[in-house]
Amino acid sequence: MLKNDSKWIKIISTATDSKNIIFLDSLWEGFMKYLENAVIKSINMLNDNVCDIKLHCPRVAKNACPGQFIEIYPDNGVNILSRPISICEADKIIGTVRVVFQLVGAGTKLFATKKIGDTLRILGPCGNGYSIGENSIESSVVLVGGGIGVPPLLYAAKSIIGEKTIILGYRTSPFLADEFIRYGNVFVCTDDGSEGYHGNVVSFMRENNISGDYILSCGPKIMLRYLSEYAVENSIPCQVSMEERMACGIGACVGCAIPIDVNGEVVNKKVCKDGPVFDCKEVIWQ
Ligand SMILES: Cc1cc2nc3c(=O)[nH]c(=O)nc-3n(C[C@H](O)[C@H](O)[C@H](O)COP(=O)(O)OP(=O)(O)OC[C@H]3O[C@@H](n4cnc5c(N)ncnc54)[C@H](O)[C@@H]3O)c2cc1C
Ligand code: FES
């Protein structure tokens, strides 16, 4: 209930030297976001436009779950707003979080210039994350990712014990796809046919009658919309991770609100706080 409440962020950010924080930490472990100066342990370009960073941030890592994201703050004094980036992997023992992101504008391009040993100020883990079935060992799960929506599914693939069908879509050259192989049956789709199935992920699913106990997905809105139609037609519960432009990233500005159907009533929900993961049947696709 208090997992994403911004008052806890304020407490953490203003009272990190206080002894009380230790009490609050243990009390709310698993419910809070942490501000950390995360040290870069590795940084690589996966291709010309996609950067892969591993950060040492033990408190964020310890509390992370698949489908959540972190906010990364640019430190150039010009770009003030944090940038939301999904957690691609979290190692709770070593205390690292991995993020994989596309170079889009000032923020992401700045992050990609960093070196090993530099720090990035981050806040996390943010958002609700996927609901992964308690009996995941007996489940058959379909993971569907598109483009830069692929990274968070790696963490999900790693965390689910049951049988996994993993369908990854790209415009052209795939990235990260090889890392999924050890977790399930992987199918790559490309728009230009340069690798794998020639076409989009939903066409692939239709042609191959892909089914499972539930679907977890992340990708462009148009992909999620067609996937949602497929899931409803085939009576497969489907969770979609929505992407909206964000400003505050902590539920304060309403900039990321989207209409959600709650028992027949349209309610504006914040992607950064109530999401990013929603039941596909609740999303009002526009
Ligand atoms: C929950 C969530 C998870 C995401 N995970 C990833 C990921 O794992 N990998 C990845 O490559 N991208 C991801 N994105 C998109 C990523 O946040 C944007 O590409 C990034 O913020 C762009 O910042 P910029 O400074 O490079 O671009 P600019 O266009 O200069 O950004 C200007 C402002 O708009 C915001 N903004 C721009 N595009 C987006 C966007 N698509 N979503 C939200 N805010 C945006 C920025 O945060 C910034 O405040 C995610 C977005 C969301 C909402
Ligand atoms: S980005 Fe401000 S409420 Fe979500």
pLDDT tens digit sequence for 10-30 = 333 333 434 334 444 444 544
State how far the Cα of 211 lies from the Cα of 198, in Å rounded to an integer: 20
Q: How far is the CA of 73 from the centre of ligand 2 (A)?
A: 15
Using one digit for the tens of pLDDT, what is the confidence trace for 66-89? 999 999 999 988 788 999 999 999
Domain ranges of the chain: 6-126, 140-279
Using one digit for the tens of pLDDT, what is the confidence trace for 205-259? 999 999 999 999 999 999 999 999 999 999 999 999 999 999 888 888 889 999 9
State how far the Cα of 41 lies from the Cα of 56, in Å rounded to an integer: 6
Q: Is the C-beta atom of 104 inside 6 A of ligand 1?
A: yes
Using one digit for the tens of pLDDT, what is the confidence trace for 119-168? 999 999 999 999 986 655 668 999 999 999 999 999 999 999 889 999 99
Q: Quick one: pLDDT at residue 138?
A: 64
pTM of the model: 0.90
State how far the Cα of 121 lies from the Cα of 241, in Å rounded to an integer: 24
Between 52 and 139, the higher pLDDT residue: 52
Give the homologous superfamily in CATH for domain 6-126. Answer: Translation factors (2.40.30.10)
Is domain 140-279 annotated with CATH 3.40.50.80? Answer: yes
State how far the Cα of 95 lies from the Cα of 132, in Å rounded to an integer: 22
**Where does ligand 2 bind, in terms of residues with CB under 6 Å?**
246-249, 251-256, 270, 272
Q: Is the C-beta atom of 69 inside 6 A of ligand 1?
A: yes
Q: Quick one: pLDDT at residue 132?
A: 87
